[in-house]
Amino acid sequence: MTEKMHKFENGSALAAALAAEVADKLALAIADKGTASIAVSGGSTPKAFFKALSSAPIDWEKVTVTLVDERFVPEDSPRSNHKLVKENLLLGPAAQARFIPLYQNVENVGEAAEIVTNKVSATSLPFDVVVLGMGTDGHTASFFPGGDTLARALDINTPAGVMAMHAEGAGEARLTFTFSSLENAGLLILHIEGQEKMEVLNKALEGNDETEMPIRAVLSRASSPVNIYWAP
């Protein structure tokens, strides 16, 4: 694995540059094979990037958008990553994209994981673009320290698809793409902002215990280079 650091003066400069890089990659994929796929993160960090990307002049009808992870909550919950993407990315030109939600209105999170795995694997994998975030506890996607299915989610031999995850630090039950679904993206991004997250990243780079900081799996074992986008 290699990582490349891209540092910006502020979040707006980062959002513009990241949106341009992602749009170029999606456009190239469309030119090559007629379609493109992108999996994005939720949380508080990606809003400005989503807004910048939503107006990119690409053929959005040919793009499939999904989430790297989701809370097991309906779309109208303020905690829903789907809601965040709908309100900030699937706007203007990008409203034409096909969106695959991870949350499904079924009894339990395991059932939802199976349904989404069947929907996504046939059409969208490997992803052309994956944009990961990172929590200050060292989680990425929903690979949480102490997660009940963490070892399986991070095992490269676990098939590509979506799994359920429960962890104390996660709040709700989670749905997450497995490591093997994300690590080989055509363009693999880690988007983090703030001094505290830079310190968490440095700590992650210095050690190798993935159960303590699951982001280490991406930093040390992803087969695609990890492009780290950071602003203060």
Kindly state whether residue 88 participates in binding ligand LXAUTJHC, applying the rule CB under 6 A: no
Question: Which amino acid, one-letter code, is at 152?
Answer: R
Rounded CA separation 55/28 (Å): 17
Residues 6+ apart with CB under 8 A from 205: 219
- Kindly report the number of other CB atoms within 10 A of residue 194's CB atom: 14
Residue number with CB closer to ligand LXAUTJHC (43 or 92): 43
Rounded CA separation 24/32 (Å): 12
Candidates 88, 113, 133, 222; binder of ligand LXAUTJHC (CB under 6 A) is: 133
Candidates 44, 105, 195, 202; binder of ligand LXAUTJHC (CB under 6 A) is: 44
Chain centroid to CA 164:
16
Cα distances (angstroms) measured from residue 43 to each of 48, 69, 132: 12, 10, 10
- Residues binding ligand LXAUTJHC: number (CB under 6 A): 9
Are 27 and 170 in contact, with CB atoms under 8 Å apart? no
Rounded CA separation 143/230 (Å): 21
Candidates 7, 12, 32, 43; binder of ligand LXAUTJHC (CB under 6 A) is: 43
Kindly state whether residue 69 participates in binding ligand LXAUTJHC, applying the rule CB under 6 A: yes
Q: What tokens does 19 get?
A: 């949106």
> What's the closest the beta carbon of residue 31 comes to ligand LXAUTJHC, in angstroms?
29
> What's the closest the beta carbon of residue 45 comes to ligand LXAUTJHC, in angstroms?
3
Rounded CA separation 127/148 (Å): 26
Point out which span in 41-49, 52-60, 89-97, 107-115 binds ligand LXAUTJHC (CB under 6 A).
41-49
Kindly state whether residue 45 participates in binding ligand LXAUTJHC, applying the rule CB under 6 A: yes
Candidates 36, 42, 215, 222; binder of ligand LXAUTJHC (CB under 6 A) is: 42
Positions touching ligand LXAUTJHC (CB under 6 A) are 41-45, 69, 81, 133, 135
